[in-house]
Structure 1
Amino acid sequence: MDFEINHTDITFIGSGISSSFSILHFLDLLEKKPINKKISLTIIDRYPEFYTGIPYGVRSGYSVLLITSLKNFLPEPELSKFIEWLNLNKEWLLDEFRTEGGQLSLEWLATHKERLKNNEWEDLFIPRRFFGSYIDQKVKSTLEKAINENRVTVDYINSEVTDIEKNNDFYTLSLCDHKKISSEKVILSVGSLPTLKLWKNEDLIQEDNLMFINNPYKPNLGEVLGQLELFLKGKNAKEVNALIVGANASGLEMLYKLNDLDAIGSKIDKFTMLSTQGLSPDSIIDEEGKKKYTPKNLLALKDKEDLTASQIAEATYKDLDVADDVKLGAASTVDIISSAFGALLKKLNREELKKFACLYGNDIGRRQRCAGYHYSKTIDALKEENRFEHIAGRFVDIKKESDQAHFFEYLDTASKTNKISKDTVDVVFNCIGGTNLKASDVPELLKNLIQKELCVPNESNIGFDVNESLESSKNLHVMGPLLAGNIFDGKAVWHVEHCGRIIWLSSVLSENIHQYFKLLEPKK
């Protein structure tokens, strides 16, 4: 589309669910407390799909399931609204899921046939795309109503912001196609930091007998899996082995999706996961073990005054070690341990609380990963067929032997030495998660913002320091995962991929923006 925008009131950079909920909250406030001025919104995204981001849109496909049950994914009152929408739209949603999915998707439909028929959604690990379709429809219809009632105007730009300059009371945004936009308020809502490329500087590398996928979602998972299917068809080797680097949500989803599609899963002889701890997220609650477990190290601190972040973290690690020793997984202990250290965080002063948010929260979270039974069941089925191995270590390199076979080199967690895999590797999926703000491959926009000190990274190195209005600089707000390592309403925040936290913080942001324009509104 060929157009120029001279000035806009609010510009959203990125249009995932952080922006979506911010827009919804803001429009709701405009309806309840009207402003005597039409607000101009500009929404910029480098991908043509708006409002869903990667997790809930076409880039991750239609058949990947939530990592948690629906009731743990979405808080009230949004949960009830979503369930009401699911009840009205389930037929076409389930048809799409059935069409796109494979054998594991059909199993899911068969297993939950009665619950789906009776609209019993809360305990299900539903396809993520269902939520993406819901939020897409909701934002579009709410915006349409606000436009028709002359509250807002909206411009969509499918491009990438590469730089931002502060000019007096406005920001000038530079786009990759050399256009410029002037905006009074800017919302930086670009999602999680991009995945660190593990091997070579390309999203997908294909060589003889090797396909290395650094970014499974670019351009989208469906196309990447299509290329993989063609690669596997052309393989003449007797054995094909796949490596998934990372045991987080993305790694589990990839393993599940590869085994959902028979044209891929049936052609892979062995799946190996490589992660620092060598542990897959837990899904089964051991009710007896849970009753016997007590976080003694954390409870020992409950009467202690003048606590530090490191003392709470050390006690948490010790209690996690005790659980590991008795083979009690995260699904059984996560509520107990989180509740115990959560109670202690209230004793920390602001400086120590910020340290916990920056240095310890995510690290503890990595040891408390839980997942749905459908994911652990996939691993169990592969184990029974002797087709799965989990190695504790960090990826180092790919080694090519003279006979064209590839092996992977890794830093072994236990021995702290580099080792070479005993099995060859033909397919590699990079699922290790995002880079950090100190890395050389930080996106150009963020690099420029840091250089100009419009955004200052905090100690977490994955988030920017902001004030209580979520501003990194006056009228430049941050929303979403880049809020890691901050404190709001006395609460430490270190993981803002969680839908509940996004809804809460987007509400804080929209209140601030509404108040700002309310004070500026022209008098009647």
Structure 2
Amino acid sequence: MDFENKTNHTDITFIGSGISSSFTILHFLDRLKTKSIHKKISITIIDKYPEFYTGIPYGVRSGFSVLLITSLKNFLPEPELGKFIKWLNINKEWLLEEFRSDGGILSAEWLSKHADKLKNNEWEDLFIPRRFFGCYIDQKTKKYIEEAEEKGSIVVDYVNTEVIDIDKTDTMYSLSLNNDHKLISKKVILSVGSLPTVHLWKKEDFITDDNLIFVNNPYKPCLKEVLAKLDTFLEDQPEKEVNALIVGANASGLEMLYKLNDHGNIKSKINKFTLLSTQGLSPDSIVDEEGKKKYLPKNLLSLADHQSLTAKQIADATYKDLDLADEIHLGAASTVDIISKAFGSLLKKLDQGELKKFACLYGNDIGRRQRCAGYHYSKTIEALKEENRFDHIAGRFIDIKKNSDDMYSLEYLDTRSGTNRISKDSVQIVFNCIGSTNLTASDIPQLLKNTIEKKLCIPNESKIGFDVNESLEASDNLHIVGPLLAGNIFEGKAVWHVEHCGRIIWLSNVLSDKIYDFFSQSK
């Protein structure tokens, strides 16, 4: 963007350019194809990272060899699934070559195992590299924008910087950028993705010592560079026994464990891998077909005849049915569909206030106990167990302690006993995969802090989302899209997890309609 006078004007500004922004743009341009607007719409897309359209999960920061946490058919709904598969069939040769080049031993196993399916274009049941989707959405968005610009429908500017403040002036918004420029915009779309990761230890993203490497952000600047630094660190530890700790057993934690084992040189130099999570349980991947047939969520089913319910009643019944599943050793992969369907059918018995409460207080909490993952992740854990190289501690991270011999140990709060403990094994490598902070924290990004202080965006009870209206507005013409929509109700549906691609597509479609209607009705 040409900032001649340090100020520029635009119709729509996207702050953040991940897939929520991409799908909003795609839907909006689809509407323009169907029926044009009387004026050319100016769009500005701002991102603090140089890569646009993909965000962290589907871009270069995650790399080319990280696999989806679900199968493709469960990742992407129709009709987008069919369009993506058609694109995969055309582009698979170079995609698979990039995957082969970026990956290691586990990636080679994946290619070998699925060679026939890949040859026959049978994609639906595969846990494909998620970068494939990033390449698809990047190409598609650029193509749509180029076609719309050629028709004179839109003009798009890209700004690679960070927005640090927003002010409302009458019917416009003034955006302050960290390069001392300002941007005036009619509509603002806040699409910054998930909240930042909590720094568990010290404040830096990457901390090194002679006997320790601590990674607070595995994707900064990108996973490939972080692994390269780790490889160099291990080269300097030839005679030492090296143990790796991953804090968090969520998708990111499993991903780190997978990549450490995909990298042959790194895996061979690590003696033991440990996960630390509150429950001490890894996401489940194996469906017990017999157990699934016999399992009934009796506590949830007992609420079916109630005319009205509270959010807490449904949540308590869900927790009890999850406990029953635990007692008979039936994992989340076997029960998630059954339990989700059972409590989902009860949500229609909640009034608006109780439905909102469920979205804010219970949805994500239940989800944490229903985590599933692909077999490629659980297989990595099983292989390490067979080699006596894996441990899973049920506890919460407290500190990394430096001992008298200059080695480090983990201090954690043991879940079962409620007491502080020190790990028996020393720790040389730590990956922080604990998850995101919340909107009440003091160290959230300055932009979010400022919008909250000015009451342009009001956090809801979930603490990870902003209250919005049916037009996804936190304030007039200031829209939210993506994960910060957690804790809201749209079209009668409670929303608590907006990292899911299907929900992103749905909600970005809702938003694009609102944007189109605004400009088509404006004089």
The question of a shared fold, defined as TM-score above 0.5 by the shorter chain, is answered with yes
**Following the alignment from structure 2 to structure 1, what is the Cα–Cα distance between the partners of residues 376 and 223?**
20
Which of residues 285, 302, 305 in structure 2 aligns to 1:303? 305
Give the SS at the match of 1:263. Answer: helix
**Which runs of structure 2 are paired with 1:66-215 in the superposition (5 Å)?**
66-215=68-217
> What residue identity is the alignment partner of 2:40?
K
**Following the alignment from structure 1 to structure 2, what is the Cα–Cα distance between the partners of residues 195 and 47?**
17
Structure 1 partner of 2:455: 453
**Following the alignment from structure 2 to structure 1, what is the Cα–Cα distance between the partners of residues 378 and 390?**
12
**Segments of 4+ moved more than 2 angstroms:** 1-5
Structure 2 partner of 1:413: 415
> What residue identity is the alignment partner of 2:512?
S
Structure 2 partner of 1:20: 22
Q: How far does the alpha carbon of each residue in 1:229-285 deviate from its partner, in whole angstroms, 9 at most, with x for none? A: 000100144310000000000000100011001111111110000001100000000
**Following the alignment from structure 1 to structure 2, what is the Cα–Cα distance between the partners of residues 219 and 2?**
27
**Following the alignment from structure 2 to structure 1, what is the Cα–Cα distance between the partners of residues 350 and 39?**
44
Which of residues 381, 393, 396 in structure 2 aligns to 1:394? 396
CA contact (8 A) 2:3 2:181 kept: no
**Which runs of structure 2 are paired with 1:454-493 in the superposition (5 Å)?**
454-493=456-495
Q: How far does the alpha carbon of each residue in 1:172-202 deviate from its partner, in whole angstroms, 9 at most, with x for none? A: 0000111100000000000000000000000
> What residue identity is the alignment partner of 1:218?
K
User: Which 10-residue stretch deviates more, 184-193 or 261-270?
Assistant: 261-270
Q: How far does the alpha carbon of each residue in 1:392-429 deviate from its partner, in whole angstroms, 9 at most, with x for none? A: 11100011111011001111111111111110000000
> What residue identity is the alignment partner of 2:130?
R
**Following the alignment from structure 1 to structure 2, what is the Cα–Cα distance between the partners of residues 400 and 289?**
47
Q: How far does the alpha carbon of each residue in 1:198-219 deviate from its partner, in whole angstroms, 9 at most, with x for none? A: 0000000101200000000001
Structure 2 partner of 1:514: 516
**Following the alignment from structure 1 to structure 2, what is the Cα–Cα distance between the partners of residues 12 and 238?**
49
Q: How far does the alpha carbon of each residue in 1:417-449 deviate from its partner, in whole angstroms, 9 at most, with x for none? A: 111111000000000110000011110000000
Structure 2 partner of 1:433: 435
Structure 1 partner of 2:3: 3
Shift of 1:305: 2.2
Of all paired residues, the percent bearing the same amino acid is 74
Structure 1 partner of 2:243: 241
> What residue identity is the alignment partner of 2:357?
K
Which of residues 259, 262, 266 in structure 2 aligns to 1:264? 266
Shift of 1:3: 2.9
Give the SS at the match of 1:198. Answer: coil
Give the SS at the match of 1:380. Answer: helix
Give the SS at the match of 1:54. Answer: coil
**Which runs of structure 2 are paired with 1:25-36 in the superposition (5 Å)?**
25-36=27-38
Shift of 1:495: 0.2
Shift of 1:33: 1.4
Shift of 1:9: 0.1
**Following the alignment from structure 1 to structure 2, what is the Cα–Cα distance between the partners of residues 237 and 152?**
61
Tell me how many residue pairs correspond in the alignment.
521
**Following the alignment from structure 1 to structure 2, what is the Cα–Cα distance between the partners of residues 62 and 308?**
45
> What residue identity is the alignment partner of 1:430?
N
Give the SS at the match of 1:56. Answer: coil
User: Which 10-residue stretch deviates more, 272-281 or 229-238?
Assistant: 229-238
Shift of 1:115: 0.2
User: Which 10-residue stretch deviates more, 235-244 or 391-400?
Assistant: 235-244
Q: How far does the alpha carbon of each residue in 1:122-181 deviate from its partner, in whole angstroms, 9 at most, with x for none? A: 000000000000000000000000000000000000000000000000000000111100
TM-score calculated relative to the size of structure 1: 0.99
Structure 1: gaps (5+ residues)? none
Shift of 1:306: 2.2
**Following the alignment from structure 1 to structure 2, what is the Cα–Cα distance between the partners of residues 237 and 356?**
53
**Following the alignment from structure 1 to structure 2, what is the Cα–Cα distance between the partners of residues 202 and 510?**
38
Structure 2 partner of 1:363: 365
Q: CA RMSD in A?
A: 0.7
Give the SS at the match of 1:274. Answer: strand
> What residue identity is the alignment partner of 1:223?
E
Give the SS at the match of 1:396. Answer: strand
